[in-house]
Structure 1
Amino acid sequence: MDDLIDFLSSVIHFCERGDPLPVAFSKAKEIRRVRNVNYDELFELSRKLILSYYSLSGRSARKKVISFLEGANKISLPQWMNDELRGLVDLEAYLRSLESGRYKWFRVNTVLGEENQVLTSLERQGIKFERDGDFNYLFKVRSGNITKTDEFRNFKVIIQDKASVAVVEALKPEKGDVIFEFASAPGLKAELIYELTQGDVYLILAELDRERLTKEIKLLSRLGVDMGKVDFINQDSTMNSVLKADKVLIDAPCSSSGILYNEPTVLLGLRDKGKVENFSVIQKLMIREAFNIRFKKAVYSVCSIFPEEGEAVMDEYMDHLLSTNAGGVEGYGNHGSGKFCNRYFGHIHGTEDFFIATLRGSESHER
């Protein structure tokens, strides 16, 4: 038991220092070994530990772990989050979904592999899945670890959440489009645009973080994207340099409150509302900058459950809003923009929590 306590204490320590859970878990494995343990199960235990962080007693990591193992393992949010979400969603269902109610979604990279061949191979390896009813190239994993297959290692399978796919579907990329994406890393949306247009597209991808941009370039190359169809820009998208595009994708930096299931350490940065409010300011600056571009259509999206990063931002653009037809449900009804926007929720759709809105540009004839 002591080695388990030491291991989980190390996980908390690294998470409190700002490491994502997979990184914290790997670091803990380097310095603390646990005998006779299934590390996949231990990772899940670590995930639930961090989700329970605010319900644990004691100041030290060790005391928090002991509290957790003794049964104080209730999924818990900061009080301000509880108060706000209770008026927006079914909070109890939402909390249950954080514990066990989300799915892993994937699609076949048809640039590198033929769909039927890839799916047949996955079935032979014991991966059980079902085709999505909204986007027929998307699949929900029912059982099996798809990340341990050759298809995943060889980039023929791409893991991408359904809500993220819905963002691209809202943009409706067409052959011949010039598409500009703000804050584009890690690049999965860009790759999907490339696939949906069968490579007949010109992508302009902007990213502020140089390291993330370098990783994005490497990933898109490995995924089979023709790099002659892509321009990369290392820029702050609140100060944009692009003047014209057919369509603009503003997948803005946000609080990441929509990915708590997969990355519970986000909770540790949400002790108060400050992070959400700060990102809301950045998002508004990005959208304002986007309207300096001549475009026909834009999609704004954030992986956030909070209206401060979604509907409250779009309320300022009611004259530009178009109906967003990308599945999910309508946005929050206590905002005027809500009826034009879509939201995905983990406790309803088994996805990340996402907000999606569609905007008409100066060159659009849509109403």
Structure 2
Amino acid sequence: MNERLIIDLLAKSLYEVLNHKVSIDVAFKRACKGKCASSLNEREELYNLVRNFISDYFKIICVIGKNKRVSLKELARRWIKGLNNIPDTIPCRLSYSEWFYEKIINLLGFHEGVKLLSALNERKWWLRINTLITSEEKVLRMLDEEGVEYDIDKDYPFVVKIRSSPKPVRLLKPVKEFKAIPQDKASVMVVDVLKPEPGDVIADLASAPGLKTSLIMMLTENRSKIVAIDVSLKRLKIMRVLLKRLGVNLSNVSLVLADSRDIRVRGINKALLDAPCSNSGAIDKDPGIKIHINQGKIDYYSRLQKELLENALRLDAEEVVYATCSLMPEEGEEVISYIAQKFEFKLVKEIKWLSNGYKLVGFYDKLMRAFPHIHDTEAFFIAKIVKKS
């Protein structure tokens, strides 16, 4: 693809992220339609180019000047030629908005905040071995044969950290055969905190795309029952296909189209709320989040999470795990603080080696946070709530 077409691709991808607030994956797909080569290798190279360009958006703005109006194509052109004279400020060097930078520094302090922001710029790849249809040994052998360099996780032997791969992770043979699933270790931690056991009846209150549902079934060897709830019929249909391919016994999973803010589910003993959120903890996966995150979006999801968790605590479940892929206290500590005014419960710090919550609440040491610069994962907030009888 010549330089003119590459500039066009970069500009159109950025347009989608800026104006339609979509993920980089969606933006690239739309911009690439009918234009990109069918070669997987070339397509992957173009995708990485788009990803890096969008990640550098604020760096480009710093060089050009915030008040200078230029076309998206000019932004792409300047980036391709190389950025010179980048202002020597941390938001510019690491490519974040000043608002986001200040918010993180206020939460973590300067040194920890800079480490976190740097780590968020580095893509991390984790694979969860799907023992419902294969063994850990077989998948590790397959990865060896494909020349993948990896580390077996010390906490979860069915999870591996990919150090390097000769091909995109999604094109690895065990991934294509559903014997391994790209799933961040922090996402696995959320299910670990739930401690699912055979015989449990669990409500998964925001279940699509189904990775945590499938992990629950894997850990219980298909011997638990799950009520998997989502507001999107389309997502539930996709989830059903995925669960089947992953070897989940669908007779033990009830897929329910409903809004978990007002659903009533009887006969459950545990509930999982991996709530919709701003995804500020997943910038490494989608740098476009840097661009379209704002306080309004955080406040919207905070209100939604309060409503979802409030209803979750009205269900029969004795234990509720609430989690968000967010760095923001509005989508974590503040939600628990709000709920504590309405319900009596105790908080359990199930995974001792995770960081505590932010010291904005008195019970911060009973909350769990995963950070990319400490745990080498996406950033997650996790709370285990046990009702008082």
CA distance in 2, matches of 1:265, 1:335: 31
CA distance in 1, matches of 2:363, 2:207: 25
SS in 2 for 1:194: helix
Q: CA deviation at 1:233?
A: 0.9
Please state if 1:75 is matched with 2:94. Answer: yes
CA distance in 2, matches of 1:286, 1:201: 23
Aligned CA distance change for structure 1 residues 315 and 149 (closer, same or farther; 3 Å): same
Of residues 292, 315, 321, the one that matches 2:346 is 321
Q: What residue number does 2:310 align with?
A: 288
SS in 1 for 2:363: helix
CA distance in 2, matches of 1:221, 1:260: 30
Contact 1:48 1:75 in 2 (8 A): no
Please give the residue correspondences for 1:292-307 in structure 2 after superposition, counting only pairs within 5 Å.
292-307=314-329
Contact 1:51 1:75 in 2 (8 A): no
CA distance in 2, matches of 1:362, 1:232: 29
Q: What residue number does 2:54 align with?
A: 50
CA distance in 2, matches of 1:96, 1:15: 22
Please state if 1:87 is matched with 2:106. Answer: yes
CA distance in 1, matches of 2:303, 2:31: 36
SS in 2 for 1:200: coil
CA distance in 2, matches of 1:337, 1:51: 35
Of residues 285, 290, 293, the one that matches 1:262 is 285
AA aligned opposite 2:256:
I
Once structures 1 and 2 are overlaid, which stretch shifts more, 91-100 or 186-195?
91-100
Please state if 1:40 is matched with 2:47. Answer: no
Q: What residue number does 2:255 align with?
A: 232
Please state if 1:9 is matched with 2:11. Answer: yes
AA aligned opposite 1:348:
I
SS in 2 for 1:19: coil
SS in 1 for 2:107: coil
Please give the residue correspondences for 1:144-159 in structure 2 after superposition, counting only pairs within 5 Å.
144=165, 145=167, 146-159=169-182
Please give the residue correspondences for 1:1-367 in structure 2 after superposition, counting only pairs within 5 Å.
1-16=3-18, 17-33=20-36, 38-55=42-59, 56=61, 57=64, 58-69=69-80, 70-71=82-83, 74-89=93-108, 90-100=112-122, 102-144=123-165, 145=167, 146-270=169-293, 272-318=294-340, 319-326=344-351, 327-363=353-389
Contact 2:354 2:369 in 1 (8 A): yes
Once structures 1 and 2 are overlaid, which stretch shifts more, 193-202 or 39-48?
39-48
SS in 2 for 1:43: helix
SS in 1 for 2:33: helix
Contact 2:206 2:274 in 1 (8 A): yes
Deviations 1:72-94 (A, max 9, x none): 68432233222211022323222
Deviations 1:175-231 (A, max 9, x none): 110001111101110111101111110100100011111111111111111110011
Contact 1:258 1:352 in 2 (8 A): yes
The CA RMSD measured in Å over matched residues stands at 2.1
Contact 1:3 1:33 in 2 (8 A): no
CA distance in 1, matches of 2:359, 2:58: 30
Contact 1:321 1:357 in 2 (8 A): no
CA distance in 1, matches of 2:76, 2:331: 33
Deviations 1:263-311 (A, max 9, x none): 12223322x3000001101100111111211221110000101001001
CA distance in 1, matches of 2:388, 2:113: 40
Identity, % of aligned positions: 32
Once structures 1 and 2 are overlaid, which stretch shifts more, 37-46 or 75-84?
37-46
SS in 1 for 2:302: helix
AA aligned opposite 2:102:
D
AA aligned opposite 1:267:
K
Contact 2:270 2:319 in 1 (8 A): yes
TM-score (norm 1): 0.92
Q: What count of residue pairs does the alignment treat as equivalent?
A: 361
Q: What are structure 1's unaligned runs of at least 5 residues? A: none
Q: CA deviation at 1:137?
A: 1.6
Q: CA deviation at 1:33?
A: 4.8
